[in-house]
Amino acid sequence: MDRAQLADFLRTRREALQPEDVGLPRGPRRRAGGLRREEVAALSEMSVDYYTRIEQERSTNLSEQMLAAMARGLRLSLDERDHLFRLGGHPVPERALRTDHVDAGIMRILDRLADTPAMVVNGLGETLLQTAPAIALVGDETSYDGLRRYVVYRWFTDPDARRIYPDEDHDFHGRAFTADLRAAYTRDGGPGSPAAAIVGALLAESDEFTRVWAEHEVGIKHTKLKRFRHPEVGDLEVHCQSLYDVDQSQALLVFTAAPGTESHEKLALLTVLGAQRLGGG
């Protein structure tokens, strides 16, 4: 690990970011440009002391998880992320298989959607980031580990994954998730790939998935109008708009409801609930 170059690189990236770039307000007392260390630490979900030690060249060996967290917090491009990994003494993540790095442009858009249910998902159905209102709407989908990170695996192995959708929609969702997995498996599902691991596990664990997978359905598109059965606010209908990042095989999903409808009022209530939970209320 090149501590000096790593610290200098982090410093320059931090100073190049403005509060508005990451969805933070610019207070009247802010004099210097760029972000403060404590802001980058919060965005990277690490302690201020830990991040400060890195910038002061006092860090010990950094894990890939920590480097990836700083790459997201600093809104680094893929090339910048790769450079960060090299400085941290780790091999560059394989882009064909690793889809956990969110594009800097997508991150900037998400930062401006703090009061809207929005989330970033990759081509395997793994949720990478969520706003607080999105967590209030569908739950914290970034908290899972192992194969449970992938929505298609949860759908066919965990009954709780279906409870936020009306029963009559379950068959369609299962087929759509399976079609998504088949597309990913065809695209990059070689031996040892995450897609191959998901397919193998589901074929061994779920008779329902085995039946749907055997039908070879492709191109089943998720509907823009989605129905949810929420445990706190009841039934609601929302529109899901998708912004795709082709290079990274990721999508930014934004959920809205038509103004003046009951669903619009319920979505606004969930936004408040999400903000309260984020603040510990």
What pLDDT is attached to residue 267? 92
Percent of the chain with pLDDT over 90: 43
Q: Does residue 163 sit within a domain?
A: yes
Give yes or no for residue 117 having a pLDDT over 60. yes
Instruction: Identify the CATH number of the domain in which residue 73 sits.
Output: 1.10.260.40
Q: Does residue 222 sit within a domain?
A: yes
Residues 80 and 110 in one domain: no
Cα 92 to Cα 9: distance, rounded to the nearest angstrom: 16
pLDDT tens figures, 237-247: 999 999 887 66
More confident residue, 239 or 18: 239
Residues 29 and 167 in one domain: no
Residues 69 and 128 in one domain: no
Instruction: Identify the CATH number of the domain in which residue 212 sits.
Output: 3.30.450.180
- In the numeric block, which tokens belong to residue 185? 């498996």
Band (280; pLDDT cuts 50, 70, 90) = low
Give yes or no for residue 278 having a pLDDT over 80. no
Residues 116 and 235 in one domain: yes
Mean pLDDT value of segment 155-162: 94
Q: Does residue 92 sit within a domain?
A: no
Q: Does residue 109 sit within a domain?
A: yes
Residues 259 and 184 in one domain: yes
Cα 136 to Cα 272: distance, rounded to the nearest angstrom: 9
Cα 132 to Cα 115: distance, rounded to the nearest angstrom: 8
Residues 145, 150, 156, 161, Cα dihedral to 10°: 80
* Domain end call among 29, 56, 87: 87
What pLDDT is attached to residue 177? 94
Residues 66 and 183 in one domain: no
Cα 81 to Cα 73: distance, rounded to the nearest angstrom: 11
* Domain end call among 22, 56, 87: 87
Residues 78 and 143 in one domain: no
pLDDT tens figures, 29-45: 776 678 889 999 999 98
What pLDDT is attached to residue 281? 46
pTM score, whole prediction: 0.69
What single-letter amino acid sits at 134? Answer: A
Residues 273 and 165 in one domain: yes
Q: Does residue 96 sit within a domain?
A: no
- Count of structural domains within the chain: 2
Residues 147 and 109 in one domain: yes
Q: Which residue segment(s) compose the domain that 175 sits in?
A: 104-278
Rounded to the nearest integer, the mean pLDDT of the chain is 87
Q: Does residue 75 sit within a domain?
A: yes
Residues 142 and 57 in one domain: no
Band (60; pLDDT cuts 50, 70, 90) = confident
Q: Does residue 93 sit within a domain?
A: no
Percent of the chain with pLDDT over 70: 92
Residues 81 and 110 in one domain: no
Give yes or no for residue 97 having a pLDDT over 80. no
| Residue 182 Cα to chain centre, angstroms | 21
Of 158-162, 183-187, 219-223, highest mean pLDDT: 158-162
Residues 62 and 128 in one domain: no
Give yes or no for residue 263 having a pLDDT over 50. yes
Least confident of 84-88, 196-200, 269-273: 269-273
More confident residue, 169 or 96: 169
* Domain end call among 60, 87, 114: 87
Q: Does residue 21 sit within a domain?
A: yes
pLDDT tens figures, 187-228: 777 778 889 999 999 999 999 999 999 988 877 888 899 999
Band (276; pLDDT cuts 50, 70, 90) = low
Beta strands across the sheet bearing 234-245: 127-130, 118-122, 250-256, 234-245, 225-230
